[in-house]
């Protein structure tokens, strides 16, 4: 894929939950935020993985920087971010990335 206009924008969110995150309502708010992201213009994908050591990795993909910024600045998402710092996360790092090149393979 060499068409720069079709390359995506990703947020890579690495995190560790606090021991009391579940009791504080993490699962419900996380499901709500994923649902909200999926409804946003330009949404492509949202995946979360958990490593054996408990670190979590979420990859959220949008088609343009404008759509990515709309998700970042969504008022409900901003409120969830504040709640995350207060009630859910022991630590996190956020990386914003632009797809420079892409190679795909699929077994026929």
Domain count, the chain: 1
Query: CATH no. for residue 19?
Result: 3.30.70.100
Q: Indicate the pTM of the whole model.
A: 0.85
105 is a domain residue: no
106 is a domain residue: no
Residue-wise DSSP of 10-76: EEEEEEEE-TTTTTTTHHHHHHHHHHHHHHSTTEEEEEEEE-TTS-EEEEEEESSHHHHHHHHH-HH
Question: Which pLDDT score, from 0 to 100, does residue 74 have?
Answer: 96
pLDDT digits (tens, 9 = 90+) for 42-77: 999 999 999 999 999 999 999 999 999 999 999 999
């Amino acid at each position: 894929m060499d068409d720069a206009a079709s390359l995506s924008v990703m947020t890579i969110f690495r995190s560790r939950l606090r021991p009391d995150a579940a009791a504080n309502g993490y699962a419900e708010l996380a499901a709500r935020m994923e649902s909200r992201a999926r409804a946003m213009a330009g949404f492509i994908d949202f995946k979360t993985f958990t490593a054996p050591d408990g670190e979590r990795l979420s990859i959220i993909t949008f088609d343009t920087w404008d759509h990515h910024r709309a998700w970042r600045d969504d008022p409900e998402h901003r409120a969830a971010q504040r709640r995350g710092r207060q009630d859910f996360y022991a630590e996190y790092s956020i990386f914003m990335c632009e797809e420079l090149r892409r190679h795909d393979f699929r077994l026929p």
